Structure 1
Amino acid sequence: MALIFELDPTVDPALRDGLLALWADVSNAGGAVGFVPPVTPEDIRPELLKHFTAMAEGRSRLLVGYDETGAVAATAFLTLNTHRLMRHWLWLYTVMVHPGHQGKGYGRDLMAAVADAARGLDGIEAIRLGCRGGTGVDTFYAACGYKEVGRVPDAIRVAPGDDRDDITMLLPLHR
């Protein structure tokens, strides 16, 4: 069954708790979403509140994918670029699909929904994202049409002695 996507859902306690649980589950499964395991939803809460603040200020948009039970199963934050010379593209952050839904095509569905949402935003011509090297996710994004446009070697320190490349990828949006 396909996910049901919603852009800019109402933020209520159920959504907040669903996002926290998803983010913890993805992180604890080894997902490269800003934390290293083990983490709890409480560890993640301050970072989620930063996203909510950006949403309230109109700087970021939230895309949520719900599974057949109505649970939060996937997310992506589309963050508008505030630099006056770069407002024609946005950043994509915190792209997640619940580990229990891996292998069902939901990641591709999420990335297609992200592109559709971005195309619906006035003046947006491209999406940029950063990803952690050594995870294989850059290959996934490439399969979704993103091209590597930059790489900073050893920029992400996961643990002492475990440095990873910071890879920047771009998807031009052809309307």
Structure 2
Amino acid sequence: MTLTFEVDPAVDPALRDGVLSLWADVSNAGGAVGFVPPVTPEEIRPALLKHLVAMAEGGTRLLVGRDEEGRIAATAFFTFNTHPLMTHWVWLYTVMVHPRHQGRGYGRDLMAAVEHTARTAEGFEAIEAIRLTCRGGTGVDGFYAKSGYKEVGRVPDAIRVAPGDDRDDIIMLLPLR
């Protein structure tokens, strides 16, 4: 089975709850998506609301992947730059695949859908690159490298997961042109 991807899905309670559930499940499985386990959907809700507000204002776009049962199984948020010298690239945030689907190639499918969206979707015509950051020590930078992203910077010990557990903030870029 594969995931079905959609850009800019309708924001309704089902979408909101599906993303919250996904985000909590990914975080609690050890995913590096802004929280440290244990975390509840209610603790994540303010971060999601920031994304949803940015979507309503037109500065952020959402790509969701749904599994064969229609559940939200993957996400990636694109955030456009407002700085006039940086409008030619987008940030990619909250890249997630549900733990029950990991190991099936869905992460590769998500990253291919991200690239396809940035290359072809309406509103992305001026975008020349995708930039993301990831937490060091997780191995996810290797995954992104396999998807064509190059490490372009690293801030040592920028992320404090817990007292005495600082991780690098790794900056990666995928040129589209």
How do 1:81-120 residues align onto structure 2 when only pairs under 5 Å count?
81-120=81-120
The one-letter code matched in structure 1 to 2:33 is: V
2:126 paired residue among 123, 127, 132: 123
- Aligned to 2:9, what secondary structure does the other structure show? coil
Counterpart Cα distance in 1 of 2:96 and 2:126 = 26
**Number of residue pairs matched by the alignment:** 174
TM-score scaled to structure 1, two decimals?
Answer: 0.99
Corresponding residue for 1:173? 176
Corresponding residue for 1:44? 44
Counterpart Cα distance in 1 of 2:81 and 2:119 = 15
Corresponding residue for 2:24? 24
Query: C-alpha offsets along residues 30-61 of structure 1, whole Å, 9 cap, x if unaligned?
Result: 00000000000000000000000000000000
Q: Which runs of 5+ in 2 are unaligned?
A: none
How do 1:69-84 residues align onto structure 2 when only pairs under 5 Å count?
69-84=69-84
Corresponding residue for 2:141? 138
Counterpart Cα distance in 2 of 1:111 and 1:82 = 24
Counterpart Cα distance in 1 of 2:152 and 2:110 = 22
Counterpart Cα distance in 2 of 1:143 and 1:122 = 25
The one-letter code matched in structure 2 to 1:173 is: L
Displacement of 1:119? 1.0
Counterpart Cα distance in 2 of 1:90 and 1:119 = 12
Counterpart Cα distance in 1 of 2:145 and 2:176 = 14
Counterpart Cα distance in 2 of 1:49 and 1:172 = 29
**Runs of 4+ deviating beyond 2 Å:** none
- Aligned to 1:169, what secondary structure does the other structure show? strand
The one-letter code matched in structure 1 to 2:110 is: L
Identity of aligned residues (%): 79
Stretch of structure 1 that moved more, 26-35 or 119-128: 119-128
TM-score scaled to structure 2, two decimals?
Answer: 0.98
- Aligned to 2:61, what secondary structure does the other structure show? strand
Counterpart Cα distance in 1 of 2:156 and 2:95 = 22
Q: Which runs of 5+ in 1 are unaligned?
A: none
